[in-house]
Structure 1
Amino acid sequence: MEPDLIQTSHLPPNFNEDLNSTRLKRLKLTDSLRELQTVLRDKSTSRSDFIFHADRLIRLVVEEGLNQLPYQKCVVTTPTGYKYDGVRYEKGNCGVSIMRSGEAMEQGLRDCCRSIRIGKILIQSDEETHDARVVYAKLPPDIAKRKILLMYPIMSTGNTVEKAIMVLHEHKVIPSNIVLLNLFCTPLAASQLLAKFPDMTILTSEVHPIAPNHFGQKYFGTD
């Protein structure tokens, strides 16, 4: 079941400032994007349609996430011998998915970055208290030198992502090297994360008081 609307008395003191941060980025709202969001929130959506539309939305978020990574200028030669001024990714990017729902975003990232390395973090949360604990982490050994696309589709409280960032911190990753790829985020989660990690970037399709928490169960067929 989805949670009740977040009460304003529970919001952090700098709530409005956090949501206006340049580190919180939203996809440009279009009718096409709104349709994807609508289908994923509709309880009558079949699982096959849900996966199809979720994969489309994931691809949009991943593509925009790639724009947050550093590029460098380069010159290439075309088949006709013409010199073309272009850009390439700087080396040293990787993905990290927060299991299990974050794994739904892995294929979308691989479709765009064929050879990118992907680490995994498993965090279990108590359904009543929302307390989260780290169960498993498998990361590239040189992750501290990389720009990281952290994947987690639904954020209600931000507790799980906070735990994952602490795991990355233990591996010497600095928050400014983290871009969180997210589909749906509550204002509370965004504010909480940006208050604690103001240098990280959150990229999402929507900030709304109610998150579609059925996402992982519907996507993987465990509902």
Structure 2
Amino acid sequence: MTITATQAAGPVDVTVNETVNETVHLLPQTRQLRALHTVIRDRHADLGRFVTTSGRIIRQLIETALDLLPYEPVDVQTPVGETYHGLRPAKPICGVPVVRAGESMEHELRAVSPGVRIGKILIQRDKVTKLPRLYYSALPADIDRHSVLLLDPMLATGGTALAAVEVLLDHGVAEDDIVFVALLSAPEGIAAVHARHPNLRIVTSAIEERLNENAYMIPGIGDFGDRYFGTDVPR
């Protein structure tokens, strides 16, 4: 099956297997979303515009991810005395950003779910082995009873995502209770994640063409963390 991701660089056909299609939730590729991507992919976008525009996309991703979580029925009384048969989350929600870039997504999650609990995972690539290395994690003691949104704007090779998922699994979180939320995803990263965790759900706003020889996404966005936090500004 082919997903057509209309991006700033034009329509991109990304072929993924049936299993991936069942678990990857790509935001509707509307003209508005493409316009937002045009802003954040522009190398000349200033810090304020980049932060505001990426936040608008992240909010859509968070809302989509929350819709994938389990819900249970609940009845409430309306102001006119009638009963509304509604829904509420079946489990408490925990957001876990992968530090540093993932923290850019924390604000949007708190905006739509003010009481959400937040964990942290710090994973960086070892300069010698080139493999992801866990440096720090701080998670709620009862995270195994939560639905978890794992937040990281970039899903490139999949190495960091896999390492972060393993941290959650080691803390007793079920794979079915994890939703990985990424602004951009590379086909290689999606394939790597689903090779080990075929049922893990991924929410993303764009599927890129490919990774280049330096593992950067094409057409890409650059270093999201540096651009979002303003650390890419020359001295």
Q: TM-score, normalised by structure 1?
A: 0.89
**CA shift at 1:92, angstroms?**
2.4
1:7 alignment partner in structure 2: none
Structure 2: state its 5+ residue gaps.
1-14, 211-217
Match of 1:152 in 2: 152
Post-superposition shift, 1:177? 1.1
Query: May I ask how many residue pairs the two structures share in their alignment?
Result: 209
- Greater strand share, structure number: 2
Q: Secondary structure in 1 aligned to 2:119?
A: strand
**1:71 equivalent in structure 2:** 71
Cα 1:18/1:125, change in 2 over 3 Å? farther
Q: Contact 2:39/2:45 (CA < 8 Å) preserved in 1?
A: yes
61-70 vs 164-173, which moves further: 164-173
CA distance in 2, matches of 1:193, 1:18: 14
CA distance in 2, matches of 1:164, 1:23: 18
1:19–1:187 contact (8 Å) kept in structure 2: no
For 1:91, the aligned partner's letter is K
Q: Secondary structure at the match of 2:141?
A: coil
**What displacement does 1:163 show?**
0.7
Cα offsets for 1:55-92 (capped at 9, x unmatched): 10110100111101111112111112121121111232
Question: What percentage of residue pairs aligned between the two structures are identical?
Answer: 38
1:176-210 C-alpha deviation (Å, 9 max, x unpaired): 11100110010000111011111210000011022
1:18, CA displacement in angstroms?
Answer: 6.0
Shift of 1:148: 0.6
Contact 2:154 2:185 in 1 (8 A): yes
Q: What displacement does 1:175 show?
A: 1.4
**Equivalent residue for 1:217, pick from 185, 208, 226:** 226
What is the SS of the residue equivalent to 2:179?
Answer: strand
Note the 1:64-103 alignment, pairs <5 A.
64-103=64-103
Q: Which one-letter code corresponds to 1:192 in the other structure?
A: A
The answer for unaligned runs of 5 or more in structure 1 is: 1-14
Structure with more relative contact order (C-alpha pairs < 8 Å, separation 6 or more): 1
